[in-house]
A and B are shown apart, each in its own frame.
Chain A
Amino acid sequence: MQTNPETPKLASSQIAILLLVSGIALLAVSVFSNSQIICFIGLGLTFWGALFILITPQKHVEGSFLVTSTLPVYMTIDRMLKDLTPKNEAYNIPSYTRDVDLPEYMKGLKEMVTFIPEEHATGMAAIEDLAKGKFLIENPKGLLITPPGIGILNKIEQKRKTDLTKIPLSELDETLPDLLNELYLTKEIKMATNENDVTLQINGSLYKNLYSQEYNLKSINLLGCPLVSAAACAIAKSTGKPTMIQKIKTSPDGKTTTATLKIVQL
């Protein structure tokens, strides 16, 4: 994942085609010469050539591109937060399940949103504002933005054909780390639930650089990296209650990220 994306694909494709062509040629020769040995060699070369073409991944990108492509999202949110003077909390508000039919004017309720209230605002965003898909709301004052981890969450649901609203929190402890590990974005994820508090430990995340002082992002501690945000959204979907990131800690070497999430009781 860390090498030039063009080189290995080109080399493996060329080797695969070479194997395939020589295999077919040997198969043809073996039929004419009636030789079992040549036929075995030809069959093997054809098979492995075809297999190499089949199992070569279509696309792969360098891992560090994930951070560079996500960075502008957080920088934009940072700029918005400068104008808002936010409270140091953000609520991931769950959406309605996909199979529920909602009228056109309430379509906004099918999208997960993150509510960032202003410093002096109290209470949760009104359901009317969520339904209308608003961005800036007045009562209580704050921002409604799309959580950065929603893409990962949707990908997990599509890949596994699951709806997280149907998985109880007791099962999510085991299911969610497995689902996130399948994306190969981290080395290991552990999740532990204690009543309304959830602790998420991520080792070797590809997004770990987002927490570094180099970028000095303020919104990252509020919203979490896309993986933490996806986990917060998944818990919100599973419980049907908003979730909030309380604290994010990174180890001195930056390899381990520990996020403490809270399920908000309304």
Chain B
Amino acid sequence: MNFPLTLSDISLWLAATAIILLVTSELLNSSPEYSSRILIDKTRMRLAAIGCGFAFLVTVIMRVV
């Protein structure tokens, strides 16, 4: 009964998620004309994207050290 993912797996998953979220967040913030019609909290979206990015960096540091 072990957790099936290694640190490398989580790092890869975080990298993919962070890229998706960061690109989406940037697109939403750069075109307020269109994004104003989308009902999401853009500040929280950006925070989640940055959070994922940092989490990925943390996993990279953990693997290097």
Interface residues of A (CB under 8 A from B): 1, 8-9, 30-32, 34-36, 38-40, 43-44, 47, 51, 54-58, 60, 181-182, 184, 187-188
Q: What are 15 A-B residue pairs whose CB atoms fall within 8 Å in the complex?
A: A8-B39, A9-B39, A31-B2, A36-B9, A39-B5, A43-B13, A44-B17, A47-B17, A51-B21, A51-B48, A54-B44, A55-B48, A57-B39, A58-B41, A184-B32
Task: Beyond A36-B4, A54-B44, list 10 extra A-B contacts (CB 8 Å).
Answer: A31-B2, A31-B3, A31-B4, A36-B9, A39-B4, A47-B17, A51-B21, A57-B39, A57-B40, A181-B32
Enumerate chain B residues within 8 angstroms of A40, measured Cβ to Cβ. 5, 9, 13
* Cross-chain contact A55 with B1 (CB below 8 angstroms): no
Chain A to chain B: the 7 pairs with minimum beta-carbon distance, closest first: A184-B36, A55-B40, A39-B4, A36-B4, A55-B45, A55-B41, A57-B41
* Cross-chain contact A34 with B4 (CB below 8 angstroms): yes
A54 to B43 alpha-carbon distance, docked (Å) = 10
Q: A40's closest neighbor in chain B, by CB?
A: B13
Q: Which of B1-56 contact A (CB under 8 A)?
A: 1-5, 9, 13, 17, 21, 32-33, 36-37, 39-41, 44-45, 48
A39 to B1 alpha-carbon distance, docked (Å) = 13
CB distance from A3 to the nearest CB of B (A): 9
* Cross-chain contact B5 with A43 (CB below 8 angstroms): yes
Enumerate chain A residues within 8 angstroms of B48, measured Cβ to Cβ. 51, 54-55
* Cross-chain contact A56 with B40 (CB below 8 angstroms): yes
CB distance from B44 to the nearest CB of A (A): 5
Enumerate chain A residues within 8 angstroms of B4, measured Cβ to Cβ. 30-31, 34-36, 38-39
Enumerate chain A residues within 8 angstroms of B17, measured Cβ to Cβ. 44, 47
Enumerate chain B residues within 8 angstroms of A182, measured Cβ to Cβ. 32
Enumerate chain B residues within 8 angstroms of A188, measured Cβ to Cβ. 33
A19 to B53 alpha-carbon distance, docked (Å) = 22
Enumerate chain A residues within 8 angstroms of B21, measured Cβ to Cβ. 51
A55 to B38 alpha-carbon distance, docked (Å) = 11
CB distance from B34 to the nearest CB of A (A): 10
Enumerate chain A residues within 8 angstroms of B44, measured Cβ to Cβ. 54-55
A182 to B35 alpha-carbon distance, docked (Å) = 11
Enumerate chain B residues within 8 angstroms of A181, measured Cβ to Cβ. 32
* Cross-chain contact B40 with A39 (CB below 8 angstroms): no
A181 to B35 alpha-carbon distance, docked (Å) = 12
CB distance from A61 to the nearest CB of B (A): 11
Q: B5's closest neighbor in chain A, by CB?
A: A39
CB distance from B15 to the nearest CB of A (A): 13
* Cross-chain contact A39 with B39 (CB below 8 angstroms): no
Q: Which of A38, A51, A181, A188 has the most CB of B within 10 A?
A: A51
